[in-house]
């Protein structure tokens, strides 16, 4: 295994988590550095002077930023492990598109549901449902027959993105006291999330439940 890999992240960052998932899936040995984003290390500021954020992947001293870019780099660099992106160009493009949709369209209202209350939360939930309907319809043909993951037998790019973004969805629903992703309304997404949650790598990298609950309640209390 390659010893020259270091990942700067924070445990609660979905973007850092997806890079960890990819590294684990590919069987890449790496050093993990937990960053305090309220007191960023000098190394983080040097490696990512533009955004000053995590994740940053450093491979033999050369830094890469932006989780989607890092995932593609990992897949192209370590070809001996399972592929994260599909070999078929059309499906690869579809996976990229829906990954961007999750990041740009779904995550904002999902976080808004947690932060808001009353009528504002109801409005965010409505927006979230509108986006879920689009995703439900759009991804149903991406799954191979007999497989519950988009990538087939092992998690791939879109599976990793969804895991990092909504792997703790059940816990969030418990915290806010409301089911948001209803299995009856969204059977494809719901069964997909169940399949993702059962993957050994997802279980291994999931933070302790108590830690997630504390974070979510803190966000709710702060409303930020």
pLDDT computed for residue 144 by the predictor: 83
What's the confidence (pLDDT) of residue 139?
96
Whether the Cβ atoms of residue 95 and residue 158 lie closer than 8 Å to each other: yes
**Contact partners, residue 37, CB within 8 Å, separation at least 6:** 10, 53, 54
d(CA 80, CA 91): 21
Q: What is the pTM of this model?
A: 0.94
Region for 223 from its dihedrals, namely left if φ exceeds 0, alpha if ψ lies in -120 to 50, beta otherwise: left
Q: Report the distance separating Cα 58 and Cα 112, nearest Å.
A: 32
Tokens of residue 58, six digits: 């450093």
Tokens 């598109």 locate to 97
- Of the candidates 15, 20, 100, 6, the residue with the CA atom closest to the CA atom of residue 54: 15
User: pLDDT under 50 in the chain at which residues?
Assistant: 1-2
CB-based contacts of 141: which residues, under 8 Å, 6+ apart? Answer: none
CA 83, CA 73: separation in Å to the nearest integer? 12
Domains defined along the chain, listed by start: 5-77 (3.40.30.10), 89-222 (1.20.1050.10)
Are 167 and 159 spatial neighbours (Cβ–Cβ below 8 Å)?
no
Q: What is the pLDDT of residue 1?
A: 42
């Amino acid at each position: 295994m390659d010893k020259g890999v270091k990942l700067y992240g924070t445990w609660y960052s979905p973007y850092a988590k997806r890079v960890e998932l990819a590294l684990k899936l590919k069987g890449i040995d790496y050093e993990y550095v937990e960053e305090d984003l309220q007191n960023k290390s000098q190394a983080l500021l040097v490696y990512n002077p533009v955004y000053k954020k995590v994740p940053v992947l450093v491979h033999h001293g050369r830094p890469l930023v932006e989780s989607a870019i890092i995932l593609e780099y990992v897949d192209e660099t370590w070809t001996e492990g399972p592929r994260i992106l599909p070999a078929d160009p059309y499906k690869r493009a579809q996976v990229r598109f829906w990954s961007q949709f999750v990041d740009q369209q779904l995550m904002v209202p999902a976080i808004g549901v947690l932060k808001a209350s009353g009528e504002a939360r109801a409005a965010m939930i409505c927006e979230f449902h509108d986006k879920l309907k689009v995703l439900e319809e759009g991804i149903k043909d991406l799954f191979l027959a007999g497989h519950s993951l988009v990538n087939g037998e092992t998690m791939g790019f879109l599976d990793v993105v969804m895991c990092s973004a909504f792997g703790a969805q059940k816990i969030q629903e418990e915290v806010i006291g409301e089911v948001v992703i209803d299995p009856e309304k969204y059977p494809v997404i719901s069964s997909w999330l169940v399949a993702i949650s059962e993957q050994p790598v997802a279980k291994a990298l999931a933070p302790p439940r108590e830690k997630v609950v504390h974070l979510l309640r803190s966000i709710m209390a702060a409303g930020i």
